[in-house]
Amino acid sequence: MTAEKYVIFNADDFGASTGINRGIIDAHLKGVVTSTSFMVTGRAVADGVAMSRDHPELAVGLHWDVLGEDERTFDTGNVAAVRDEFKRQLDEFDRLFGRPPTHIDSHKHTHRVEHLFPVFAEMTRPLGVPLRGDGRVNCIGGFYAQWEWKVTELKYIGVPFLQTMLRDEVVEGWNEFSCHPGYESPDFTSVYLMERAVEVRTLTDPAIRRSIDDLGYRLASYADLSVAIATMQR
């Protein structure tokens, strides 16, 4: 019997700006986004929390952030400071949402730096939730339009390319497609802006949901995975 293939579409940067918040919610309500990672350091935190309450089916994890859009400096070589900042952001997430995150990842993959990943694995373990890169989920990160600094190639966030990734990169078990949907708004500046609206269009294109169904995959969220993990641990 063939094992099932679960697909999670997780939108990074929830809380970063009002435009990004709106794009993520649109991609959730009208498309395939099932989960998002929240920045407690963002400029639109209150807006994002309110939207989350209005849309409880959107699983929300913690997007640990110490860099912003390169406007902040943080010594990631100071492991004690990293631990303190993780606890601070985790506590702030709990305060804002009244519950723990459904998963943990980080802005610009900071936690996956070689000397930090074991630290994050240790800090996340008591939470019982997935940490991006811990082996429980096949992380598929090719849906992104700037693989060279400030050089945009929209084909990498178009419908045909995403359909190809769905066909070729999904494995048995749990899979995450990371994405960055959003709209431009005055409260956010980045080298990755107009691309976010293109991501929204792709993620809400009915052809993507049809491809998921035709391939026999199950669209799921990080909340669903947390339930599955808890069930296995009983």
For the chain, what is the domain count? 1
- Burial class from Cβ neighbours inside 10 Å (0-12, 13-18, 19+) for residue 48 reads buried
Count of CB atoms within 10 A of residue 91's CB? 11
Q: What is the pLDDT of residues 20-70, one digit of tens each?
A: 999 999 999 999 999 999 999 999 999 999 999 999 999 999 999 998 877
State the helix-helix crossing angle for 79-97 and 45-54, rounded to 10 degrees.
50
Q: Which of 181, 231, 184, 162 is CA-nearest to residue 37?
A: 181
| Residue 1 pLDDT class (50, 70, 90 cuts) | very low
Question: What is the reported pLDDT for 73?
Answer: 84
Question: What is the reported pLDDT for 234?
Answer: 62
Question: What is the reported pLDDT for 3?
Answer: 79
Which residues lie closer than 8 Å to 1 by C-beta, 6 or more apart? Answer: none
* φ/ψ of residue 154, rounded to 5: -65, -20
* φ/ψ of residue 40, rounded to 5: -70, -10
Amino acid letter at 196?
A: R
Which domain range does residue 49 map to? 5-233
* Contact between 206 and 30 (Cβ < 8 Å): no
Q: What is the pLDDT of residues 162-203, one digit of tens each?
A: 999 999 999 999 999 999 999 999 999 999 999 999 999 999
The pTM of this model reads 0.95
How far is the C-alpha of 199 from the C-alpha of 149, rounded, in Å? Answer: 18
Amino acid letter at 36?
A: T
For residue 98, the domain's CATH number is 3.20.20.370
